[in-house]
Amino acid sequence: MKEKKTTKEIVMQVADTYTLNSRSIEVCAESTVDLNDVQMYDALGSEACAYQTKDGNMCAVGMCMTKESLEEFGSFIGSVRDLHNTTMNQRNEQGLECLLKEEYRGHPLEFWSELQGLHDRNDFWDEDGLNERGKIQASKIIREFKNSKDER
């Protein structure tokens, strides 16, 4: 059994993985996406996050999902809460939690929503990674969702 990742470890993994141009953001034709179902659409314009893009890139939450979950839900476009609710409705399981790799489980849905928001917002990133505004947001997420394992 792998050791569970802390909120800080997960946020830092996202910060260390992406730059403005390497995030898993796809341009979506308006005719193929129900914009009412895409929470971040207003912030992204014509772009939306897929949990895994056609070329295999993954978003912040997607990188924490199991291979099987990505095969089933990788192309899902919508908020983390939408994905959670879809999973609950289709599988009658624990929602997002059952889609995650074991080491990422145990964090509240709100944490995953905030983490995905950090990933999705262009104004938090530059060519080198998180900009100052993004670093402030990352710190806020770590503080808000800090758990006892973050103390180590």
**Residue 31 in domain:** yes
Number of domains in the chain: 1
In degrees and rounded to multiples of 5, residue 66 shows phi and psi of -70, 160
**Residue 105 in domain:** yes
Structural domain containing residue 97 = 7-144
- What DSSP assignment string belongs to 3-59? PPPPHHHHHHHHHHH--TTTS-EEE--GGGS-GGG-TTHHHHTTEEEBSB-TTS-B-
**Residue 86 in domain:** yes
**Residue 41 in domain:** yes
The three-point CA angle 42-47-9 to 5° equals 90
Q: Model confidence over 54-105: pLDDT tens digits?
A: 888 899 999 999 999 999 998 888 889 999 998 888 766 679 999 999 999 9
**Residue 2 in domain:** no
**Residue 106 in domain:** yes
Buried b / exposed e across 11-34, counting CB within 10 Å, b at 16+? bebbbeebebeebbbbebeeeebe
Average pLDDT taken over every residue of the chain:
82
- With tokens 């056609």, the residue in question is 54
**Residue 134 in domain:** yes
Write down the pLDDT at residue 149: 58
Nearest CA among 125, 25, 17 for reference residue 64 = 17
**Residue 150 in domain:** no
pLDDT top residue among 22 and 114: 114
